[in-house]
Structure 1
Amino acid sequence: MPHQETDLVNWTEFTRTRNELGAAFPRILGYFREDGVKSIQAIEEAFRARKAVALVTPAHTLKGESAQFGAYRLSAMAEEIEMVARRCVETREQPDELIETVVALRPCFTETLALLDRDANPLVARRPVTFGRRTETPAQGFGRAI
């Protein structure tokens, strides 16, 4: 299945992880952010250097951490990079076929984190509050004219 057809975030998996981690969730999500940036940077550098062996570990790390948070598209992209890189190591080929996936990886990570952050933020209202006939959004505040 092409990456674009894979859900960006599986919210059931995200909610399960958030519930399991409890109060530690924001801290662990922060680690995912930091590790993800490092992994993507390592993948991009390894790809520019055409070093398939150097693609394997950061792609493997990103794959697992992404799946933990329900970031299925990012995880699928990282898995493709890992598997192709492993094959390239075995066959002593260059990982040139990965160019589209590597280029799309950072934007996918950025978009995914924006969604995860939005849903993980306890201060963001997930549904508008309805009072009578009017709906107030957090930006409008209580008691302001709509």
Structure 2
Amino acid sequence: MSHDDTELVNLAHLSRSRAELGAAFLRILGYFREDGVKSIKAVEDAFRARNSAALVSPAHTLKGESAQFGAYRLSAMAEHIEMTARRCVEARQGPEELIETIVALRPCFTETMALLDREASPTVLRRPGAFGRRVDIPVAGFGRAG
């Protein structure tokens, strides 16, 4: 199952989350990065062991944390892994059908974190642009003309 059609990160959702979290945003984004790395490793390890039951919890965690930041594609992939793994547990089957999604999970996480890091960068000043769009304006570094 391909999740390429799902939006990587919904910037409006991310903006709302950033506003709600306020000063805690960067700290919680750091927790998401740490938890995401752990969850993905747990998913990969469980898949290698062909342990459907062990896929459920880390996929569930990744799904919820991704959704909090508007990381729709990552959340959808994690949900697919979680739901398929639950079905495999009930049917007493291995998770082999998840191979494509699990192989794509880490690259999606990497791409998602790069976008989240860029959006969270303190060196980018945000102000409303034309027709309600945001315009990112790089802030000149120390000793550089803007």
The range that moved more, 52-61 or 116-125, is 116-125
Q: Is the 8 A contact 2:66 2:74 kept in 1?
A: yes
Q: For 1:141, give the aligned amino acid.
A: R
Q: For 2:145, give the aligned amino acid.
A: F
Aligned pairs (5 A) from 1:3-82: 3-82=3-82
- Structure 1 residue 138 displacement after superposition: 4.0
Give CA-to-partner distance per residue, 1:48-78, whole Å, 9 cap, x none: 0000000000000000000000000000000
The range that moved more, 118-127 or 69-78, is 118-127
2:92 alignment partner in structure 1: 92
Aligned length: 136
Structure 1 unpaired stretches of 5+: 130-136
- Structure 1 residue 111 displacement after superposition: 0.4
Instruction: Give TM-score scaled by structure 1 length.
Output: 0.87
- Structure 1 residue 125 displacement after superposition: 4.5
Structure 2: how far apart are the matches of 1:27 and 1:128? 24
Structure 2: how far apart are the matches of 1:68 and 1:58? 16
Larger radius of gyration: 1
Structure 2: how far apart are the matches of 1:125 and 1:25? 16
SS of the equivalent of 2:4 reads helix
Identity across matched positions, percent: 71
Structure 2 unpaired stretches of 5+: 127-135
Give CA-to-partner distance per residue, 1:64-95, whole Å, 9 cap, x none: 00000000000000000000000000000111
Superposition misfits of 4+ residues, deviation over 2 angstroms = 124-129, 137-141
Instruction: Give TM-score scaled by structure 2 length.
Output: 0.87
Structure 2: how far apart are the matches of 1:115 and 1:138? 21
| Distance change (3 Å), C-alpha of 1:100 and 1:2 | closer
Structure 1: how far apart are the matches of 2:137 and 2:145? 12
- Structure 1 residue 128 displacement after superposition: 3.7
